Structure 1
Amino acid sequence: MKSDERMRLMDLLHVLKKRYATKAYDATRRIPEETVNQLLEALRYSPSSVNAQPWHFIVADDEAGRQRVAKATPDIGSLAYNRPKVLQASHVVVLCARNELPESYLTEVLDKEQQDGRYVDSTARDGFAAARAGYVKQHLDAGDVMFWNQKQVYIAQGFLLLAAGLLGVDATPIEGFLPEALSEEFGLEEKGLTPLVMVSLGYHADSDANARLPKSRLARDVVFSKA
């Protein structure tokens, strides 16, 4: 392995071992705009099955936006512990899955692919369109299009968390919220979207004890086996 490759690997492993789910944020610190743009591009460039990109992301980048998102984390009850992670973070992203993949949306994706130069001619375009439609039909017939889409969204979440770690940004994936509250606040049901997970982004506070704890994972021989 070349020295530059070894350094990149060491950097990646360092980030993987260092990043963690932040429990308390420093509300006085804001993520620089250039860094925010890179985080959002990590979401936009996340991979998805047949490039369907079956997602939509809501970005709360100011106090008003965070207050809207925080309506899904009441200040009393079993979900109250997540409210500060929303209100004190610099940014919060709500990751939503599309409930369906209608032909109109697939055509929109296809047109953008053609605009970006992915098809040398109409034959190539039509061939991939047919292949993608075939995969979608398989999931339509199985009745699990929504579930299929949701799995793609969690791939995007992984890319966001890794990107945050690489950029020195703390993050917290949050599933403990009231999805119906977000749906009502942002009109998601009418848009054919389901909110799956939120990710708070920012910089941890000194009071965040989790920042000082060592990483713990099961041993390699427990989680891997040879085929």
Structure 2
Amino acid sequence: MDLLHTLKTRYATKAYDATRRIPEETVTQLLEALRYSPSSVNAQPWHFIVADDEAGKQRLAKATPDVGSLAYNRPKILQASHVVVLCARNELSEAYLTEVLNKEEQDGRYADKAAREWLAAARAGYVQQHIDAGDVAHWNQKQVYLAQGVLLLSAGLLGVDATPIEGFLPEAIAEEFDLESKGLTPLVMISLGYHSDKDGNARLPKSRLSAEVVFSKA
């Protein structure tokens, strides 16, 4: 599919067809897109919770009470085919960085021990800069939003509708999945599926500021 066509036609879906389910092969590609998302120094400071059945979506829907200001997002969770919660790690511990390092070595990224040690020291240096600045959690959260962008674009390219949702109670998700003990913060949910005929947003033209407004020459 043409990239610009996808960018011009994908949109935040407002209503889903609950009878349609994303094929498993497509779901696998979407989850792999998340796993292969870019992150600073390849820290991959995230964890993704996937709701792929009614029970899982009901658990996520607890964060959008059926009354109150967040109720409008509840159907987007319950009627979608799949929903993913994108969580950020609150810190980058030495043990976690070693886990990343070991996986990189397993995947053949290091020619020898010296190469591994150099990268380990370089990454630790960047992490320490953020520890000293007191913004590791915020740094990690920015990486998670890179993954969100990858997922939204991937969904569009695969013909899957999607909705990024920040309108939920993060504390409810944290409690439901015991995220505090795991050192994770839930940031955003992404509903995935196919829009229903009731989705008026599907019929509206895309609107963006002109190139003359958003670009300038260096």
TM-score tier, shorter chain, comes to: over 0.9
SS in 1 for 2:201: helix
Give distance in 1, aligned partners of 2:116 and 2:171.
39
Displacement of 1:206 after TM fit?
0.5
CA offset at residue 58 of structure 1?
A: 0.1
Structure 2-normalised TM-score?
A: 1.00
Letter in 2 for 1:70: A
The alpha-carbon deviation at position 166 of structure 1 amounts to 0.2
| 1:218 pairs with one of 200, 209, 212 | 209
Counterpart in the other structure of 1:82: 73
1:203 corresponds to which residue?
194
The corresponding residue for 2:49 is 58
- CA displacement, residues 131-165 of structure 1 (integer Å, 9 cap, x when unaligned): 00000000000000000000000000000000000
How far apart are the structure 1 equivalents of 2:178 and 2:27? 25
Report matched runs for 1:182-201 at 5 Å: 182-201=173-192
Distance 1:31 1:47 in 2: 25
1:28-67 correspondence runs (5 A): 28-67=19-58
- The 1-side partners of 2:101 and 2:112 are apart by 13
Q: Shift in Å at residue 67 of structure 1?
A: 0.1
User: Equivalents in 2 of 1:60, 1:73: separation in Å?
Assistant: 15
Q: Secondary structure at the match of 1:20?
A: coil
- Find the counterpart in structure 1 of residue 131 from structure 2: 140
1:94 counterpart residue number: 85
Equivalent pairs, count: 218
Q: 2:64 aligns with which of 54, 67, 73?
A: 73
- Offset of residue 39 of structure 1: 0.2
Equivalent residue, structure 1, for 2:10: 19
CA distance in 2, matches of 1:98, 1:53: 9
SS in 1 for 2:50: strand
- Residue 196 of structure 1: CA displacement? 0.2
Following TM superposition, the consecutive aligned residue runs of length 4 or more in structure 1 with deviations greater than 6 angstroms are: none
The residue identity in structure 1 corresponding to 2:137 is M
Measured in 2, the distance between the counterparts of 1:208 and 1:52 equals 38
Q: Distance in 2 between matches of 1:106 and 1:14?
A: 39
SS of equivalent residue, structure 1 residue 28: coil
Equivalent position SS for 1:67: helix
- Distance across 1 between alignment mates of 2:208 and 2:119: 41
Opposite residue 194 of structure 2, the aligned amino acid is Y
CA deviations on 1:150-207 (whole Å, 9 max, x unpaired) are 0000000000000000000000000000000000000000100000000000000001
Counterparts of 1:64 and 1:160 in 2: how far apart (Å)?
A: 23
Identity of aligned residues (%): 83
Q: 1:73 is aligned with what amino acid?
A: T
Aligned twin of 1:110: 101
Q: Following the alignment from structure 1 to structure 2, what is the Cα–Cα distance between the partners of residues 122 and 47?
A: 25
Give the letter for the 1:96 counterpart.
C
Q: Which residue of 2 aligns with 1:123?
A: 114
